[in-house]
Structure 1
Amino acid sequence: MKLKIYSGEEVRALRQKLGLNQSEFWAPFQTTQSGGSRYESGREIPDPVQVLLNIAFNTDA
């Protein structure tokens, strides 16, 4: 199985679609609000967080 690599823009859109603030969205991924903000602003999202995003959103790439 190949992982989908989420961009910060995609994650921000998912979060907004779910109606969650950054703290609420990123907490299950063991990521702080400020860390999530950095990812959403274009900083590379680390592989372990990418794996969790794929699991959470049932991505089948």
Structure 2
Amino acid sequence: GWTGGAGDGEVGLSAGARSASGGLDDAAITEEDIAAGRYDAAEVELWRVDWMRPDL
């Protein structure tokens, strides 16, 4: 699971700052890849979606 952390947000299109911690399980991501820095420049996109009203 994931645990939400502190964050700030603003009205508008500018990006806010968020943090989260949790586990990720995927056989394609190996310990060797992480140690080699393969994911050091990885980016994560976070979308807040109301699945009951995706038109919003």
More helix by share: 1
Compute the TM-score of the two structures, normalised by the length of structure 2.
0.31
More strand by share: 2
Larger Rg, first or second structure (1 or 2): 2
Compute the TM-score of the two structures, normalised by the length of structure 1.
0.30
